[in-house]
A and B are shown apart, each in its own frame.
Chain A
Amino acid sequence: SQTIHQWPATLVQPVGSPLSLECTVEGTSNPNLYWYRQAAGRGLQLLFYSVGIGQISSEVPQNLSASRPQDRQFILSSKKLLLSDSGFYLCAWSGQGKYLVTQYFGPGTRLTVL
């Protein structure tokens, strides 16, 4: 069966510090991968998605970036965090193809920027 991991689970970082969040998927190959953010009291916002190694699409302009160095690894990064980057970061995966669109989420990383 497929599993998705994220770490760390929680993170407290000062403004201006760098960020690296990691997501890995097991039990599947060539998944679509997604990064979402959920700010307090708000809905989920898609940040990035990837359909393959090295292929990243950005949904919103921001100081975050994403990379996919391996098929089942997705990384979210920032060089300098802002207060507004605080939130619940969720990685998700789905199969590829018209009938494999259901997305499954990892446990998330709760980021607080102080």
Chain B
Amino acid sequence: RKEVEQDPGPFNVPEGATVAFNCTYSNSASQSFFWYRQDCRKEPKLLMSVYSSGNEDGRFTAQLNRASQYISLLIRDSKLSDSATYLCVVIGSSNTGKLIFGQGTTLQVKP
């Protein structure tokens, strides 16, 4: 089993749609969780951290379920500019802060 698993998609949605991405992780000792966004042929950029209580940043909402070892990202009112690959990222329990990346979920927002 992969340490971090995501549905690779692609998710093709119309502008204005709400879309949700899911991610599962295998190490129950994992302590920190993030969503990164990666545009084609560019470096990943931090989208948001994921907190136990859930957190929202504008149209983006991240949720963490430690019991199920599950992370989600919800995007409301999709924009064309949201088209990208979304990477689920987990940090294990070590002190080095090594990131473990999922394969990414590709989102294509259509006009």
Contact = CB atoms under 8 A, between A and B. Distances in A.
A90 B89 CA distance: 15
Interface stretch (B18-26, B55-63, B74-82, B92-100): B92-100
B66 interface: no
B34, B43, B46, B91 interface centre (most CB from chain A within 10 Å): B43
B86 interface: no
Nearest to A90: B43
B43 A105 contact: yes
Interface in B18-59: 32, 34, 41-46, 49
A16 B43 CA distance: 27
Task: State the main secondary structure of chain A at its contact with B.
Answer: strand
- Which residue, of A43, A94, A107, has the highest number of chain B Cβ atoms within 10 A? A43
A32 B99 CA distance: 12
B99 to A, nearest CB: 6
Nearest to A96: B97
A79 to B, nearest CB: 26
B102 A43 contact: yes
A43 B43 contact: no
B43 A107 contact: yes
Interface of B: 32, 34, 41-46, 49, 87, 91, 95-104
Interface of A: 32, 34, 42-44, 46, 49, 51, 57, 59, 88, 90, 92, 94, 98, 100-108, 110
Q: Which 8 A-B pairs have the closest CB atoms?
A: A105-B43, A101-B97, A44-B101, A43-B103, A43-B101, A108-B43, A101-B32, A94-B97
Given A32-B97, A108-B42, 7 more contacts: A34-B98, A44-B87, A90-B44, A102-B46, A106-B43, A107-B42, A108-B43
24 contacts: A42-B103, A43-B87, A43-B102, A43-B103, A44-B44, A44-B99, A46-B98, A46-B99, A46-B100, A49-B98, A51-B96, A59-B98, A92-B99, A98-B95, A101-B91, A101-B97, A102-B34, A103-B99, A104-B46, A105-B44, A105-B45, A107-B42, A107-B43, A108-B43
